[in-house]
Amino acid sequence: MKFDNLLCVINEVASDFLFLDEKVIDIPTAGKFLNQLEKIIEEAQAKKLDALKRVATGLNGILEKIILNTIDQKEGCNILEAGITTMQEIISSYENTGTYEGNIEDFMKSLRDTTGIEGDKDTVSDGAGRLVEEPRDIGIRVDNNPAVQQEDSPVMEGRSEENDPAQEKSQDVEEETEEKFEIQDESLLKDFIVEGLEYISEIEVNILNLEQSPEDKDYINAVFRPFHSIKGVASFLNLNDIRDIAHDLENLLDRARSGELSVSSILIDVILDGSDILKEMIDSLNEVLDGSRTQPLKPDLSELKSRIQNIDTQIEEKGEVKKVGTILVEDGVITEEILEDALHTAKEEPPKKIGETLVKKGKATPKQVAQALRKQGHQIADASTIRVDVRKLDDLIDMIGELVITQAMIKQNPSITDTTDRKLIGDISQLASITSELQRTSTSLRMIPIKQTFQRMARLVRDLTKNAGKVVAVEMEGEDTEIDRNMIDEIYNPLVHMIRNSVDHGIETSEERVKAGKPEKGLIQLKAYHKGGNIVIEISDDGKGMNKDKLVQKALDKGLINSSDGLSEHEIYRLIFLPGFSTAEKVTDVSGRGVGMDVVKQAVEKLRGKTEVTSSEGKGTTFISCFPLTMAIIDGMIVKVGHEKYIIPATAIRQLLRPAHQAYNNVVGKGEMLNVMGNLLPLLRLHDVFKIEPECVNPWEALVVVVEAENRSKCLLVDQVIGKEEVVIKSLGDGLKAIKGVSGGAILGDGNVGLILDPEGLFQLSEQ
């Protein structure tokens, strides 16, 4: 028997209790604990862990006593702490030995002595899936009408059967009291009303965000949590109708969170309608408090409950694939009468398809039928979409990567390369073609639009500008551009830093913009597009731009550079990526702490990408980030230096040549240079960098690969170019990941490992 869920919830309770401020339990905290204990009691009952159930039930009652101030907070928290420890001991014992032979009677006795709570009676359901003790055990009324007491059940603290006026009333009067709402604790109810309305507002904001980004689990959780809190506190206050609705809506969102239920317009409508009803009911409690009504609102919940119960059927009906004839009627091509006649004709022997029948009767053209079939095809494609566990997808792509490597090894096996069997050679080529197509298809499975990330950026801009007192609009372009799912999370933080920089350093206040002759509202543009084998993301603002003199002076003051002589405009703008560089004149929540753009550079380089910045003073700044589409595969040129093979990323290669003798120069102060199409470029000897013996020393006897990084080019000297291949990237492990000039490795066709070169790192190595 597994206890992972129980152990997790109990540890969560212990953690939450440990971090309580001064061990004070308010209503929201109590609601959270009650929800957690509810899960523990349900699991314990299902697994027949009686000792655990008794302790958890006792703690349930303790929480209610604490909130009602019928027990000292400190004393109650001490019992809670002891009970949590006892629960941990019980579940730990079951985990290790499959049984619990300890004694909980001492704890249960202290519970009874202090509070009068038994904690070991039978439990019943309160109607929302929550197990509680019978009213006689916990001293709290849990029936739908708190004014009515069962025979022999105790009443609230401070009252007894002898002095309870309700006991002296006639049956008729007692029936009248069933219609009156009794406020047990006005202060607690007021707190719940305030917090409940705040929760509803939070739900309304996040449900609209969820509609725009239905796959965003953060938004689902942001809607789920308020319902969860409302349910817990309403259950504690015996507001059963509110509790039931919150519980039902919470269950829907839990299904959406687990992927069992898709986030559709139908689900959004149900959640919004449910939150509206909750808001009305909580508002009515306020009216009860101020005396404008005697009874809380009791709306007819049958329709909402029916919609919640049948939501799967509603979604299926809405997603039903329409028939070709129906589509033609909706498009106005034919009438219902023509369709009925055609259906009757199509059933005659030999049976025909409806489209064929309509064309033969001259009621529709082949083009119109084809368009209807195309529309139906789109519906079928949508209806046949399935959810796949991400881990399974990753495993599939990893195995296809291994297949690509194995196929390359087979192809380069000497037994295959030396064979004269034409059929075998043809079969190997066919295998290579299929493997390559399979690799491309599997990679596309993991590609998702960048739209969701852009929307998160837009929301970040709204939050930042609100805090900064600025007015900024956001424009997005290319949101449908696709990128590897694994890259999405990785690029988020760099983009956040660039957005923060644009809002804080770039966009001016409304007053400053008006003085500068600009529109009062600033503009940030997010743009994404594919270029070569990469995705390019541009973040532009129409702010004040960068002052080059100020950038240089700041770098000099901080000792980041020794001199500004010879710095190009591009190099000046790149100063902002140096660690510790900041032009913020004051520290804010957004920036000015000396950390920021250097983090961007490190994060982008980690992803094998690069970031450039352009700016025009008074007009704005643009950050251009270039990332590979996927982290799994790289298109590269395999070169040989001595006995070693290296892979140069294809995106960095600009030219391949064998230089003439007269193109070689040794320039004083600059070292070896090659004249490439009229430009003198530095020569970088790979055999010197990696300390290996080359086959060729003279450049005019070897080959040169011109590569580009950081907007500059250098010539890499190699002995031989083997060819261009797509290779599967393999990590070099933690011990080798920090080596400059190398970004990873790949298994080549001969079974050996080739190092993937990092041009930017090589440039830095050659200049040290």
CATH code assigned at 434: 1.10.287
Same domain for 433 and 455, yes or no, is no
Do residues 621 and 640 both lie within one domain? no
What single string gives the DSSP state of each residue in 140-163?
A: ---SS-TT---TT---STT--TTT
Residues 757 and 642 in one domain: yes
Q: Are 370 and 419 in contact (CB under 8 A)?
A: no
Rounded-to-integer distance, Cα 700 and Cα 661, Å: 5
Coil vs helix vs strand at 472: strand
Which DSSP string do the residues of 435-500 spell out, in sequence order? HHHHHHHHHHHTEEETHHHHHHHHHHHHHHHHHHT--EEEEEE-TT-EEEHHHHHHHHHHHHHHHH
Q: Domain for residue 540, yes or no?
A: yes
| DSSP conformation letters of 55-102 | HHHHHHHHHHHHHTTSS-HHHHHHHHHHHHHHHHHHHHHHHHHSS---
Closest Cα to residue 623, out of 532, 505, 499, 489?
Answer: 499
What type of residue sits at position 744? G
Q: Are residues 611 and 684 in the same domain?
A: no
Q: Is residue 135 part of a domain?
A: yes
Question: What angle separates helix 50-67 from helix 105-115, to the nearest 10 degrees?
Answer: 20
Tell me: do 74 and 97 sit in the same domain.
Answer: yes
User: What is the reported pLDDT for 538?
Assistant: 92
Q: Are 521 and 474 in contact (CB under 8 A)?
A: no
Q: Residue 239 belongs to a domain with what CATH number? A: 1.20.120.160
The answer to whether residues 455 and 436 belong to one domain is: no
**Which amino acid is located at 388 in the chain?**
V
Distance of alpha carbon 615 from alpha carbon 391, whole angstroms: 42
The residue type at 601: K
pLDDT at 526: 92
Q: Are residues 98 and 15 in the same domain?
A: yes
E-state strands within 407-514: 447-449, 472-477, 482-484
For residue 22, is it left (φ>0), alpha (ψ between -120 and 50) or beta?
left
Same domain, 670 and 589: no
Among 255, 121, 139, 271, CA closest to 203:
271
Residue 298 maps to a domain: no
Q: Which residue has the tokens 């990753």?
A: 394
Ranges under pLDDT 50 in the chain: 119-179, 320, 380-384, 585-595
Please tell me the distance from the alpha carbon of residue 682 to that of residue 675, in angstroms, as a whole number. 9
Residue 303 lies in a domain: no
CA neighbor of 704 nearest in space, from 678, 684, 680? 684
Contacts of residue 570, defined as CB under 8 A and 6 or more positions apart, other chains included, come to: 612, 711
Residues 679, 624 share a domain:
no
Residue 308, domain member (yes or no): no
Q: Total domain count for the chain?
A: 6
Domain final residue pick, 588, 606, 628: 628
Pairwise CA distance, residues 688 & 52, whole Å: 69
Residue 378 lies in a domain: yes
Q: What value, to the nearest 5°, has the Cα angle with vertex 546 and ends 540 and 552?
A: 140
> Residue 552 and residue 560: Cα distance in Å, rounded?
10
Amino acid (one-letter) located at 108: M
Residue 196 included in any domain: yes
Q: d(Cα 60, Cα 119) in Å, to the nearest integer?
A: 9
Residues 6+ apart with CB under 8 A from 416: 410, 424, 425, 428
pLDDT of residue 123: 41
In 643-702, which ranges are E strands?
A: 644-649, 653-657, 664-667, 671-676, 679-685
CATH (domain of 457): 3.30.565.10
* Domain assignment of residue 752, yes or no: yes
Residue 716 sits in a domain of what CATH number?
Answer: 2.40.50.180
Secondary structure of 235-258 in the HEC alphabet?
HHCCCHHHHHHHHHHHHHHHHHHC
Q: Distance between CA 212 and CA 220 in Å, rounded? A: 12
Nearest to 77 by CA among 15, 9, 14, 23: 23
Range of 743's domain?
633-767
Amino acid residing at 384: S
Q: Phi, psi (5° rounding) for residue 236?
A: -65, -35
> 3-state class of 527 per DSSP?
strand
Are residues 101 and 213 located together in one domain of the fold?
A: no
Q: Which of 256, 285, 314 is the last residue of a domain?
A: 285
Q: In whole angstroms, what is the distance from residue 588 CA to residue 506 CA? A: 14
Quote the strand ranges of 297-449, DSSP E.
447-449
Give the pLDDT of residue 117. Answer: 59
| Contact (Cβ atoms closer than 8 angstroms) between residue 30 and residue 68 | no
- Same domain flag for 363 and 441: no
Does one domain contain both 593 and 637? no
Q: Any long-range contacts for 431-440 (C-beta under 8 Å, 24+ apart)?
A: 431/407, 432/407, 435/403, 435/404, 435/407, 436/404, 436/726, 438/400, 438/403, 439/400, 439/401, 439/403, 439/404, 439/633, 439/726
Last residue of a domain, one of 382, 401, 426: 382
